[in-house]
C-alpha cells in the first residue's frame, strides 16, 4: 500500500477522537491552520478531513468547517474492541421462529421494529405507481413476455455504467430477484458442496439458510460492531482455515450497522487477490449513507475479478418490485447463465423497466437522500431514549448509514423471551440469537428505525426498556 501524505495526520486525529480528546460537537481547526501547523498543503489537510468524514468521525458544517461526531468510545455504545458474543440462547427452531417473526412483522396491528422494511412513506409511491401505469398504457408487451434470462440489455448496460466504474477487469451483469438471489447465484458459480464460505458474525439470518441449502461449510468470523471486518483479522483466520469465498455487507452491515473504511476495503480486496478467495459483496444499504460521501464498494478496488457485486432496489425504491442485480467477472457468465436457465429463468421485463427508470430518476435520488436523513434522526432519537431511560443497562451500535440499530442489553437478558413478551403488547423486535449460527447474542436485539413518526411509537421503546430491564 502507498504511504499517503495525509496518513500521519489522519492517524493522529483518529487516535485523538477515539481516545476522547475531543468532545462531541467540537470544531476542528481550519484547513489553513492545520496546513501551516503540520507543514502540509491545504489539499492534503482537506483529504484528511474527507477521510475522517467518510469513516463517520467528523461532519462538514455548512460554511463553518468540520466538527466531531458522537464517537464510538462513548460508554452508551457497544465496545468496538469486544468480541460481542453475548449470551447463548436456548436451542431454538429457526424456521418456526422466523415464520412467527415475519407473520407479526407484516401485521399492520403490530409496531414493526423487527423486520427491516421501511415505512411506505419512505418510498416514492406516486412515482412507482406512475411508472407501472405508464408501461400498461404504452402496451409495450413487457407485461406479456418472459424476458431475457440474463436481463434487459439496456438495464444491464445502465447498471454496469453506474456500479462497475472500475474497468480493470472485464465484467458482465445479470438481473435477479433480489440481493439474496444474487449472492446465491454467485456462490453457486464458484463453490461446490463441502467448500468453506466465511461469514461475518453476527450475520444476517437469510444467509444462514442460503448457505445450508448450498451444502457448503460455514466459517463464522467475529466482526467489530462499528468498523466491521479488518484485513489483519482475515489474514489470521485464512492462515488457519482457508475459505473459498466470504460474504461481506460492504456498508452499514445488518445487524450492527458497521462500516468498513475505504482503506480497509482496498486491503481486503488485495488480500483476496493474493489468497485467491472470492468476495460476495452485499451493498443493499450503501445508498443510505448519512455523510456527504458515499462509501466505496469492494468492487471499486477489484482489479482481477475477485468481487461479485450484489444489490437491489428493495431498501431504496420498493421491496415489492423484487429486482436485483449481480455484477460478475466475465469468465463466469456461462456458469451463471446455466444456473439461471436451469433454476430461476428471467425476472419480469416489466419490473426491470420500472426499476431502470426509477434508478435514473433525480426525484428518486432526492427521496433516498431525504429518507437517509430521517433514518439518521430516528436512530439518534432511539439511542437517546435508551441512554435516558435505560439506567445504564443498554449499549447501542452507532451506524453511519442504513436504518437498523443493534442493542446490547443486560448480561442476563433473554431476547427470545423478550421477543415473546413484547408480542403480547403488539411490538415486534428481532432477537439476537437469529443472527448467529451457534445461538450467540441472546442478550442483544435488532431494531428497525425506518419508522414514520417517533412520537407515535415512543411508548413501544419505553415498553422494550421496561421488559428488558426486568
In terms of CATH architecture, what is 7-68?
Orthogonal Bundle (1.10)
Pick from 380, 359, 377: nearest CA to 368: 359
* Domain at 125-361, CATH class: alpha beta
Helix H segments across 164-254? 179-190, 205-214, 231-240
Residues 6+ apart with CB under 8 A from 48: 6, 9, 10, 13, 34
* pLDDT at res. 51: 82
* pLDDT at res. 89: 43
- The SS3 of residue 105 is helix
CB atoms within 10 A of CB 126: 9
Q: Which residue positions in the chain have pLDDT lower than 50?
A: 1-2, 83, 86-91
User: Can you give the pTM of this predicted structure?
Assistant: 0.83
- Give the cell for residue 119: 415505512
Pick from 111, 115, 204: nearest CA to 422: 111
- Per-position b or e across 248-274, b if 16+ CB within 10 A of its CB: bbbbbbbbbbbbbbbbbbbbbbbbbbe
Domain extents in the chain: 7-68, 94-123+364-468, 125-361
As a whole number of angstroms, the distance between CA 365 and CA 368 comes to 5
* pLDDT at res. 66: 85
Q: Across-strand partners of 63?
A: none
The four Cα atoms 403, 101, 110, 123 give a dihedral, to 10 degrees, of 40
3.50.50.60, 3.10.580.20, 3.90.1150.10, 1.20.1530.20: which CATH number matches 94-123+364-468? 3.90.1150.10
Long-range contacts of 57-63 (CB under 8 A, 24+ apart): 57/13, 57/14, 57/17, 58/17, 58/28, 59/291, 60/292, 61/27
The CA radius of gyration of the chain, in Å to the nearest whole number, is 22
DSSP 8-state class, residue 87 = P
Amino acid at each position: 500500500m502507498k504511504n499517503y501524505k495525509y496518513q500521519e495526520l489522519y492517524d493522529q486525529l483518529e487516535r485523538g477522537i477515539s481516545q476522547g480528546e475531543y468532545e462531541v460537537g467540537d470544531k476542528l481547526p481550519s484547513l489553513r491552520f492545520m496546513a501551516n501547523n503540520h507543514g502540509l498543503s491545504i489539499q492534503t489537510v482537506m483529504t484528511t478531513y474527507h477521510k475522517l468524514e467518510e469513516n463517520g468521525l467528523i461532519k462538514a458544517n455548512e460554511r463553518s468547517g468540520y466538527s466531531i461526531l458522537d464517537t464510538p468510545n462513548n460508554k452508551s455504545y457497544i465496545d468496538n474492541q469486544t468480541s460481542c458474543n453475548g449470551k447463548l440462547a436456548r436451542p431454538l427452531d429457526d424456521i418456526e421462529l422466523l415464520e412467527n417473526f415475519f407473520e407479526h412483522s407484516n401485521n399492520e396491528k403490530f409496531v414493526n421494529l423487527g423486520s427491516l422494511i421501511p415505512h411506505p412513506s419512505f418510498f416514492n409511491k406516486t412515482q412507482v405507481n406512475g411508472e407501472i401505469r405508464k408501461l400498461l398504457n404504452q402496451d409495450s408487451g413487457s407485461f406479456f413476455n418472459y424476458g431475457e434470462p440474463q436481463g434487459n440489455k439496456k438495464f444491464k448496460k445502465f447498471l454496469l455504467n453506474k456500479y462497475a466504474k472500475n474497468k480493470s477487469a472485464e465484467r458482465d451483469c445479470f438481473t435477479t430477484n433480489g440481493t439474496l438471489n444474487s449472492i446465491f447465484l454467485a456462490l453457486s458459480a464458484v463453490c461446490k458442496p463441502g467448500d468453506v464460505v466465511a461469514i461475518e458474525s453476527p450475520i444476517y439470518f437469510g444467509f444462514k439458510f442460503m448457505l445450508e441449502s448450498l451444502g457448503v461449510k460455514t466459517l463464522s468470523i467475529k466482526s467489530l460492531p462499528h468498523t466491521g471486518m479488518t484485513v489483519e483479522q482475515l489474514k489470521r483466520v485464512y492462515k488457519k482455515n482457508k475459505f473459498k469465498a466470504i460474504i461481506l455487507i460492504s456498508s452499514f452491515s445488518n445487524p450492527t450497522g458497521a462500516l468498513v473504511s475505504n482503506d480497509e476495503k482496498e486491503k481486503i480486496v488485495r488480500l483476496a487477490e493474493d489468497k485467491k478467495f472470492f468476495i460476495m459483496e452485499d451493498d443493499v444499504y450503501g445508498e443510505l449513507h448519512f455523510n456527504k460521501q458515499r462509501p466505496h464498494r469492494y468492487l471499486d478496488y477489484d482489479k482481477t475479478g475477485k468481487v461479485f457485486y450484489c444489490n437491489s432496489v428493495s431498501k431504496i425504491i420498493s421491496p415489492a418490485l423484487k429486482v436485483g442485480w449481480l455484477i460478475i467477472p466475465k469468465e463466469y457468465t456461462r456458469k451463471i447463465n446455466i444456473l439461471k436457465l436451469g433454476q430461476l429463468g428471467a425476472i419480469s421485463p416489466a419490473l426491470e423497466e420500472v426499476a431502470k427508470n426509477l434508478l435514473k430518476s433525480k426525484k428518486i435520488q432526492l427521496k433516498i437522500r431525504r429518507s437517509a436523513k430521517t433514518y439518521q434522526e430516528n436512530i439518534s432519537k432511539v439511542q437517546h431514549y435508551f441512554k435516558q431511560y435505560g439506567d445504564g443497562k443498554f449499549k447501542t451500535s452507532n451506524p453511519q448509514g442504513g436504518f437498523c440499530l443493534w442493542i446490547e442489553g443486560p448480561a442476563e437478558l433473554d431476547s427470545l423471551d423478550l421477543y415473546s413478551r413484547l408480542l403480547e403488547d403488539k411490538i415486534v423486535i428481532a432477537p439476537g440469537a437469529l443472527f448467529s449460527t451457534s445461538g450467540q447474542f441472546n442478550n442483544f436485539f435488532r431494531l428497525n428505525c425506518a419508522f414514520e413518526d417517533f412520537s407515535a411509537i415512543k411508548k413501544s421503546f419505553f415498553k422494550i426498556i421496561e421488559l428488558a430491564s426486568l
